[in-house]
Structure 1
Amino acid sequence: MRLQLATNNIKIQKSSATNEFSNKANVLNDDTDKKLLNAISAGDETAMEVFYKRHSHGVHQFAMKTVLNHHDAAEVLNEVMLEVWKTSKRYSGRSKVTTWLLSITHHKSVDLIRKKSRHDNNEVLDQEFTEEHQPNPATALTMNCDAMLLRQAIQQLPTIHRQVIHMVFFEGCSYPEIATVLNIPVGTVKTRMMHAKAHLLKILNNSADQTMER
């Protein structure tokens, strides 16, 4: 039996009321984050503690997609939060706070890898992939496998593919937001997502075949 990776055909259905509530919640969360950054820029340590509690888990998880181990991810987290404390005044407000924060996390993760002389040799994919739809947080990867198998499969993806999978399906980022965080064209984001899905499907299919042969 072959597994199928749903992209556009299978979606989690939400009522318009649910979508409206979700959008309002996102706006409120971003407003809170912006207020916290304003307080942090004025030297408010309590605001920094609150900001840390709100975002430390997300930063750590995103860093893991690049550095691949908890020790290095914890080091990146510390560097990111120190950067927030020192440079919160530079936040312009043009993007969501989480987009700004993930951008810092990405750069700190790459810097750490360079310092440790660990290089990711994956080819950067710059070809355009035409797609009408932007990623929707309500759209999910639907696979006939358990959660553990899925997590193991994602860990086998190249770094550039793990990043986009995580940001789309776990952070709810749009393609333009991912492009901003990773400093790459939107077309590259779409191409990486296409290849990530294909690679993930291949891994899951191979796992299913091996299970059936036992």
Structure 2
Amino acid sequence: MSAYAEGDTVAFEMLYRRHRGTVYRFAMRALHNRADADEVFQETWSRLIAARARYRPDAKFTTWLLQIAHNLIVDRFRRQRPAASDEEAEAVFRQLDAPETEQPDRVLSEFEQRRKLQLALEDLPEEQRLAFLLRIEGGLGLEEIGELTGAGRETVKSRLRYALARIRARFQS
């Protein structure tokens, strides 16, 4: 990023190739909507470009990049929240709690496992989901997740522990 900040466009191409998957998966899993994820993805890179002259390597680059995406996602949640009525919210919760019909002796395909993980992630409280995604998708440590979310190390640890327990429970049911 430092090379890109100094004008090296090849450095940007390398950053983009290396981190585009992480940013997109993070946005997609947090937002559950391809159009919204595409917008956050594009805006994240636009903001990176706009902020290149102000970039300071105080933290790991991935942490800084995911902080941009995280802030955009939080802003999107804030804008969308008032639009949902109580009835719509209840319908979403009923869908998340609805039992899935599966044959117990059948082995889940890779697609089904991914879908089950997606449903488990959707079922997590927002703080747990974001901590889990930052850890798994972003490869960030507890301190870095704490910096991004404004939570202490032990709080992040608890969120990750509870998220993992809920995901495991979802796979066992």
Question: Is the shorter-chain TM-score for this pair beyond 0.5, marking a shared fold?
Answer: yes
SS in 1 for 2:124: coil
Unaligned runs of 5+ in 2: 84-106
In structure 2, the residue matched to 1:56 is 20
Q: Are the equivalent residues in 1 in contact too, given 2:40–2:69 (CA < 8 A)?
A: yes
In structure 2, the residue matched to 1:93 is 57
The more displaced of 96-105 and 86-95 is: 86-95
Unaligned runs of 5+ in 1: 1-36, 120-143, 207-214
Deviation at 1:50, TM superposition (A): 2.8
Q: Does 1:40 align with 2:4?
A: yes
- Within the candidate set 38, 61, 71, 1:107 is matched to 71
Deviation at 1:81, TM superposition (A): 0.6
Q: Are the equivalent residues in 2 in contact too, given 1:162–1:196 (CA < 8 A)?
A: yes
Matching of residues 59-208 of structure 1 within 5 Å: 59-117=23-81, 147=110, 148-149=112-113, 151-152=117-118, 153-206=120-173
In the alignment, the residues of structure 1 paired with residue 161 and residue 128 of structure 2 have an alpha-carbon distance, to the nearest angstrom, of 9
Q: 1:170 to 1:42 in 2, by over 3 A?
A: closer
In structure 2, the residue matched to 1:17 is none
TM-score with structure 2 setting the length: 0.72
Deviation at 1:44, TM superposition (A): 3.9
Q: Are the equivalent residues in 1 in contact too, given 2:2–2:55 (CA < 8 A)?
A: no
Task: Give percent identity, aligned residues only.
Answer: 31
Q: 1:166 to 1:60 in 2, by over 3 A?
A: same
Higher relative contact order (CA 8 A, sep 6+): 1
SS in 2 for 1:172: coil
SS in 1 for 2:161: helix
Deviation at 1:56, TM superposition (A): 1.3
In the alignment, the residues of structure 2 paired with residue 91 and residue 189 of structure 1 have an alpha-carbon distance, to the nearest angstrom, of 26
TM-score with structure 1 setting the length: 0.59
Deviation at 1:185, TM superposition (A): 1.7
Count the aligned residue pairs.
Answer: 147
